[in-house]
Structure 1
Amino acid sequence: MSNKKQVHTMRQAIRWGDMDAFGHVNNTVYFRYMESGRIAFLEQAAGDLEIKGEGPVIVTAYCNFIRQLKYPGEIEIRTFAGPAGRSSFEVTHEIRMVDADGNADVVAAEGGGKVVWIDFAAEKSVPLPARVREMLPVG
Structure 2
Amino acid sequence: MTAKKLVHATRMAIRWGDMDAMGHVNNTVYFRYLEQARIEWFTEIGCDPDPNGEGPVIINARCTFIKQLKYPGEIEVLTYVGGPGRSSFEMYHEIRRTDMQEVLSAEGGAKVVWVNFPSEKSVPLPEEIRALLPDV
TM-score (ref. length: structure 1): 0.91
Offset of residue 50 of structure 1: 4.3
Offset of residue 130 of structure 1: 2.0
Task: Specify the alignment match of 2:108 in structure 1.
Answer: 111
Count of matched residue positions in the alignment of Structure 1 and Structure 2: 136
Offset of residue 30 of structure 1: 0.4
Q: What is the correspondence of 1:1-139 to structure 2 with a 5 Å cutoff?
A: 2-99=2-99, 105-139=102-136
Please say which of residues 77-86 and 44-53 is displaced more in the overlay.
44-53
Off by >2 Å, runs of 4+ in structure 1: 45-52
Q: 1 CA distance for matches of 2:24 and 2:122?
A: 38
**Corresponding residue SS for 1:99:** coil
Conserved? CA contact 1:7–1:81, under 8 Å? yes
Q: 2 CA distance for matches of 1:34 and 1:123?
A: 24
Offset of residue 47 of structure 1: 3.6
Mind listing any 5+ residue stretches in structure 1 that lack a counterpart?
none
Conserved? CA contact 1:43–1:49, under 8 Å? no
Q: 2 CA distance for matches of 1:112 and 1:95?
A: 11
Identity of aligned residues (%): 60
Offset of residue 79 of structure 1: 0.3
